[in-house]
Amino acid sequence: MSRYGRSTAISYSFGPGPMTPAVKVIIWANIAMFVLSLFFQQQLNTYLGLIPQAVLERGWLWQLGTYMFLHAGPMHILFNMLGVWMFGTELERMWGTQAFARYYAVTGVGAGVVAVAASFLPIGALAASYSAVTIGASGALFGLLLAYAMRWPERPILLILIPIPAKYFVMIYGALALLSVTDPRVSAAAHLGGLLVGYLYLRNGRGGGMTAEIKYRYLKWKMNRLRRKFDVYSGGKSDWDRHVH
């Protein structure tokens, strides 16, 4: 990953520096689970991996969060954790540990929810995922990529040794995820879900977009219901909608 230097020219360095607290916990938790999986892989994948059938038919809702701490092999966890460090560190420094941890959890769980919903689509690989195991932190990582690109859209990121602005970097990865929808080896739904949930979460500002929107819609519905019930504004349409934020 590239970073801006202090001079007027652009310089490149590897990584954002020392790990921040939440990033450190995430990485160590993933490493610990990976070590356990070397001895109990089948059991961990069965109970902690994301299986839409188990979530919906058995009520194993915890899988929506635990799946992102399991990985299939050394390269899988290496690249995911490298991405969490490279993109998550600066976001945590900017947002603070609590807000960053909340965003990481929301995008990871949200990506899992999207993966479960996508298993009902009439597409071969997606339909087959209903009874298959999905593991990996890629959904949450795609959420970090989106947040990074929204915050620093022009910052160059090295892609195969070629510097590309962060906004185009995310577009490329999003397009690749979309093209891999029919590949049963890749959970494209989780990748795209991380991007979608991250966008909805940040749409109206850092860390409150989706929540603020839900609260606004609820207040709007509630006031409209009261208005119809008591006919408070019988003289015409109220300006309430424009002032609830």
pLDDT per residue over 172-203, tens digit each?
A: 988 988 888 877 788 889 999 999 999 999 98
Q: Are 50 and 115 in contact (CB under 8 A)?
A: yes
Same domain, 167 and 237: no
pLDDT interval class at 216 (50, 70, 90) = low
Helices (H) and strands (E) in the chain, counts: 10, 2
Same domain, 224 and 172: no
Query: Is the model more confident about 228 or about 130?
Result: 130
Q: What pLDDT is stored for residue 106 in this prediction?
A: 95
Is 6 inside any structural domain?
A: no
Same domain, 28 and 54: yes
Asked whether the predicted pLDDT for residue 92 surpasses 90, the reply is yes
Q: What pLDDT is stored for residue 139 in this prediction?
A: 94
Q: Are 112 and 193 in contact (CB under 8 A)?
A: yes
Same domain, 146 and 82: yes
Is 4 inside any structural domain?
A: no
Choose the weakest-confidence range: 51-65, 93-107, 226-240: 226-240
DSSP E strands, the chain: 156-159, 162-165
Query: Pseudo-torsion of CA 139, 143, 148, 151, nearest 10°?
Result: 170
Secondary structure (3-state) at 135: coil
Same domain, 95 and 63: yes
Is 15 inside any structural domain?
A: no
> Locate tokens 């938790």: which residue?
29
What's the domain count of the chain?
Answer: 2
The answer for 198, left when phi > 0, alpha when psi is -120 to 50, beta otherwise, is: alpha
Same domain, 236 and 136: no
Is 214 inside any structural domain?
A: no
DSSP bridge partners of 134: 50
Same domain, 67 and 157: yes
Same domain, 162 and 239: no
Q: What pLDDT is stored for residue 91 in this prediction?
A: 94
**Domain ranges, residue 37:** 21-207
Query: Pseudo-torsion of CA 136, 140, 143, 149, nearest 10°?
Result: -70
CA 227 to chain centroid:
38
**% of the chain surpassing 90 pLDDT:** 56
Query: Is the model more confident about 203 or about 219?
Result: 203
Is 14 inside any structural domain?
A: no
Q: Which of 118, 171, 172, 108 is nearest to 138 (CA)?
A: 108
Asked whether the predicted pLDDT for residue 130 surpasses 60, the reply is yes
Same domain, 131 and 78: yes
Which DSSP string corresponds to 108-130? HHHHHHHHHHHTTSS-HHHHHGG
Render pLDDT for 108-129 as a digit per residue (tens, 0 to 9).
999 999 999 999 988 888 888 8
Same domain, 116 and 44: yes
Q: Which of 119, 126, 87, 117 is nearest to 196 (CA)?
A: 117
Q: What pLDDT is stored for residue 236 in this prediction?
A: 47
Asked whether the predicted pLDDT for residue 237 surpasses 50, the reply is no
pTM for the structure as a whole: 0.77
Is 12 inside any structural domain?
A: no
Same domain, 66 and 183: yes
Is 1 inside any structural domain?
A: no
Query: Residue 182 phi/psi, 5° resolution?
Result: -90, 0
Query: Is the model more confident about 17 or about 107?
Result: 107
Q: What pLDDT is stored for residue 234 in this prediction?
A: 44
| DSSP tag of 159 | E
Instruction: Tell me the C-alpha distance between 197 and 216, whole Å.
Output: 18
Asked whether the predicted pLDDT for residue 239 surpasses 50, the reply is no
Same domain, 130 and 227: no
**Could you tell me the CATH number of the domain that includes residue 108?**
1.20.1540.10
